[in-house]
């Protein structure tokens, strides 16, 4: 007969061991948008840590997005529409975590109903799925929620409702942030306000690719880079800018918040610095060891009224929950991207 004390002791140790396990070890990881830019980069980073029990949910369209998946290791892939049907019919007791990156991220998209369905309603369903299955939920919000920045760019929820996004993409993300706050969800989930992320695995994004990716092609073709002229009297041509963040830093910040199960709420994912478009262009030329040659062109009228001239992430909240890694400098990040991925035509994991 086994002593009751022994049984109780074993149970206590088992509970303790479970609590000490990383969230990535507790069960299956679902990554929506896993074939996309940041989604595939997150899977690459998980693979680097030795985790492969991953279900990818995405929509493989006519682009080359599928190429992002080729070097990665994961358990299974399912189309988003099929996944929605599946979660209505079955329970998923083995799921520990969902990294919800799936969304329409085209900031020029005018179909508001489509955007709201994909970015707002779909996110609600994913959150509810995680609550039902006792899984951690981490989702992508956006710096586009801050609009023109007049009200600041703080990831505190104290004044969340004062922000006025400049396009329906930003509004669809902001609406879920506000809904999650109202429902009390932000006390147990993580929302990530990504700033201008760039790096490997974005080739499929078309016009939504970063300037670094576009500039690489322009330099190869013409030896020059095109930048928009300023239509804001406060900024000279090329002297307005953004908070640019290398995707490798973005995924490390994301995984830190995911693993720290006491870190919940909204978090800015950025560098905490502003770099101008001229500085970014000069960094690309430096990666080619070339002299900078920049042409300033008219900004399309369709985006002039909704253009963000200045973004800068306040990253004090993520620092406060223990993220101590140094952010890669713009010039070093661009060099790594151009020389180690764009020039050899490689993907993360190759």
Catalytic residues: 169, 205
CA 206 – CA 336 distance, rounded (Å)? 21
Handedness of CA 323, 326, 327, 333 (dihedral sign): negative
Apex 34 CA angle, 261 and 272, nearest 5: 60
Contact of 141 with 193, CB cutoff 8 Å: yes
The contacts found for 158-166 with CB under 8 angstroms, 24 or more apart, are 160/266, 166/305, 166/306, 166/307, 166/308
How would DSSP label each residue in 177-243?
A: HHHHHHHTGGGTSEEEEE-EEE-TT-GGGGGGS-HHHHHHHHHHHHS-EEEEPP-STTS-TT--EE-
CA 5 – CA 85 distance, rounded (Å)? 47
Q: Which residue has the tokens 């999650």?
A: 180
Apex 35 CA angle, 32 and 40, nearest 5: 90
What stretch of H or E contains 255?
Answer: helix 247-259
Record the tokens describing residue 184, joined without a space: 């009390």
Longest Cα separation, the chain: 84
CA 271 – CA 248 distance, rounded (Å)? 12
């Amino acid at each position: 007969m086994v002593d009751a004390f022994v049984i109780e002791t074993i149970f206590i140790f088992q509970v303790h061991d479970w609590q000490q396990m990383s969230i990535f070890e507790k069960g299956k990881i679902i990554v929506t948008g896993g074939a996309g830019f940041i989604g595939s980069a997150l899977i690459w980073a998980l693979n680097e840590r030795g985790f492969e029990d991953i279900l990818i949910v995405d929509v493989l369209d006519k682009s080359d997005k599928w190429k992002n998946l080729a070097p990665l290791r994961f358990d299974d892939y399912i189309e988003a529409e099929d996944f929605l049907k599946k979660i209505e019919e079955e329970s998923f007791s083995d799921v520990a975590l969902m990294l919800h990156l799936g969304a329409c991220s085209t900031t020029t998209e005018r179909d508001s109903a489509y955007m709201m369905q994909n970015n707002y309603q779909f996110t609600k369903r994913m959150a509810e799925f995680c609550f039902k299955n006792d899984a951690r939920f981490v989702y992508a919000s956006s710096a586009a929620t801050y609009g023109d920045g007049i009200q600041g760019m703080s990831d505190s929820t104290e004044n969340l409702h004062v922000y006025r996004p400049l396009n329906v993409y930003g509004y669809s993300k902001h609406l879920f942030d506000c809904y999650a706050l109202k429902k009390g969800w932000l006390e147990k989930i993580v929302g990530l306000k990504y700033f201008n992320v760039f790096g490997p695995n974005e080739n499929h994004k078309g016009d939504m690719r970063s300037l670094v990716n576009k500039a690489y092609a322009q330099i190869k073709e013409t030896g020059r880079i095109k930048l928009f002229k300023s239509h804001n009297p406060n900024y000279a041509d090329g002297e307005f800018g953004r908070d640019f963040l290398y995707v490798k830093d973005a995924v490390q910040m994301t995984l830190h918040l995911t693993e720290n199960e006491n870190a919940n709420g909204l978090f800015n994912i950025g560098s905490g610095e502003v770099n101008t478009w001229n500085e970014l262009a000069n960094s690309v030329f430096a990666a080619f060891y070339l002299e900078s040659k920049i042409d300033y062109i008219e900004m399309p009228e369709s985006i002039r009224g909704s253009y963000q001239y200045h973004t800068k992430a306040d990253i004090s909240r993520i620092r406060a929950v223990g993220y101590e890694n140094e952010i890669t400098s713009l010039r070093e990040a661009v060099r790594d991207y151009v020389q180690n991925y764009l020039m050899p035509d490689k993907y993360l994991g190759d």
